[in-house]
Structure 1
Amino acid sequence: MNLSTPNKTILVAPLNWGLGHATRCIPIIKALLDNNHIPIIASDGVALDLLKKEFPYLKFLELPSYEIEYAKNGKYFKWKLLKNCPKMIEAILEEKRLVKKWIKKHDIEGIISDNRLGVFNKKIPSVFITHQLNVLTGNTTWLTSLLHQNIIKKFTECWVPDSNGTTNLAGELSHLKNPDFNIKYIGPISRMHCKKVAKKYDLMITLSGPEPQRGMLEEKLKAEIVNYNGSILFVKGIIEKEQVKEQIDHVTYYNFMHSRQLEQALNESELILCRSGYTSIMDLSKLNKKAFFIPTPGQFEQEYLAQKLKKEGLVPFVDQEHFTIKDLEKINNFKGLSEIKTDFNWVEIFKVFQ
């Protein structure tokens, strides 16, 4: 702990869209604690449930849900989001109202919002975390990117969890040619640590993301892995009150894992099969892992990231509809991910709250 730092009460609010936003806030929350700050966590749904399990001793507040849902057919993904826009706008306005009230009630002196658009206040330092300075939505990318950047401008700083160099993970998502707001590249962040341990599993499958796509992929993979020759660890990504473990033939199933369990399991696994979500990519990069991606159907961001890493010869991918277990053989022709070293320290980054 850095005892020389004056303690500040900081509101940390990740978006509840799958588990990625919540999990990448874990190292930030730990860094706040290490630097003598007092985090208060605010979110909703499974993101809030996950962080309560990770930090049972902290204060938690509940934010309204954006009610994000995926379409069953990927080509309707964008229209499903547009349909949900009125509910999302209502939630954002409620966020602003709650934050204003909480600042007074809990003496909050700073805000870290991971993609929660209404969690900011002009009277205190407010930070926005995103790897999507450009928001890819096909032929409407110019509009969604412009709208997102206009929201980011309201914040004191924008922290981008990527490298600003030519070697980076998010490519055009996280880089602008002429930004007109305050961007700070903090490097890829991960709750994981690479360990030298004996191999226990030939393949580890980790699922996440909103329904119904998470469940659809789970059912497809359950049918495919019957034909896999090797030991499998299958983490469904369902956050429930109690952890459930089940052994069926060569497959070990968990409904969810805590961070330390997940870190150990990833280190013990030879190959990883998962979505091409950005948090997963940061974790696998930190662990120097070989992987295979199945992007969420219709999610332009995950499709772009999968294509980028395949083009660079790092990780192969196949769309969900056409995946078969034999596709995993393609991993042998790719390098795998490796850690991107960055030179930063949390003391400097947290100076925005002084």
Structure 2
Amino acid sequence: MTLQADAARAANTRKQLLEWFTGDQGENTMRVLMNERPLTAEQLRIAEQTRRATRPHTYQPGEVAREQVDISATARRLADIARVGTQFADLFLAEASMCDLVEQAGPSMPDQPLREDDPISPYGLVYFQKPLADIGTHLLPIEAMLWYPLPPQRPASIEEEGICILPWVSTETVARLTDQREIVGRVPKLYCTASVIWPYGNKWGQMIKGAPPPEGATPEHYQQLLAAFWALCKQDNVADQENGPGIKRGDSRRFANAGIRRPDQPVRIVSLQRRHTTRDPGTTGDSREVEWKHQWWVNGYWRNTYYSSIDSHRQQYIPGHWKGPEDKPVLGGEKVIAVKAPRKRPST
């Protein structure tokens, strides 16, 4: 599809995701992510009996039922927070080449503690034109990622400040893998597979009460990919950002009725910087002239760079580039073997 069509899909995706966090579906979604599915009346009766038998001296009648009420209230509050995060989210569309770079550079990005100013926007939703592979089974490609800050009025179980990350996959894919074809058409086209709560100051994997990811995947993978996307977007020598097509008046009205803030906000298209340079972007401006006799390819890499604006070191990606004069031979080029037919021996 074209960038314009995918930008329109990204805008519609935000409206669809709001449906996940509205009413009973929002609570049920968060209960699933919390791995706390509602108990039936029979399951509740058995749970109370089991609790009474295993803790006869401390058991209080109806305590399991009260715990279920607390879980339900927590799930509703988390759904409310996610809905607000979706309503305020700035929209981004990662163009296919940018998705390739995130997949290539993300896994090699060194770990660093999360800062409040690391995200490119406090609230954001990025739609990947080319879905990112999950690190485990590779059966649930990541179609989009939503992030938002945790508000002060959050559940008591979440003590630290930070952000919440929700990765989204194709509902069609989930239905096929789980043999639940009935969900297609009944829920939004994207399906939330996990939640990761990432406190400020913590590195990857240092989370609090995040929902378990799909089998074979890791919460660190989501954090690392999103952190790499944020860092790459901030580098003018790596990424270009431009506004996508304007939101149509009819769509803007639908978005406003759904509760979306700034319903006419265009989608920001993030694409790979294509300006060519032969200068090593990792140089420090040394004016010494060196007469190179070859040119060679330097693979992209991350470098810990000091930023005076924030008085801190952050990871900066140095894109792959050619080094050396363009008119010199390539060092380490492919070896070509010429195969010739054997000469015929002269007859005697």
Under a length normalisation based on structure 1, what TM-score does the superposition of the two structures give?
Answer: 0.23
**Larger radius of gyration between Structure 1 and Structure 2:** 2
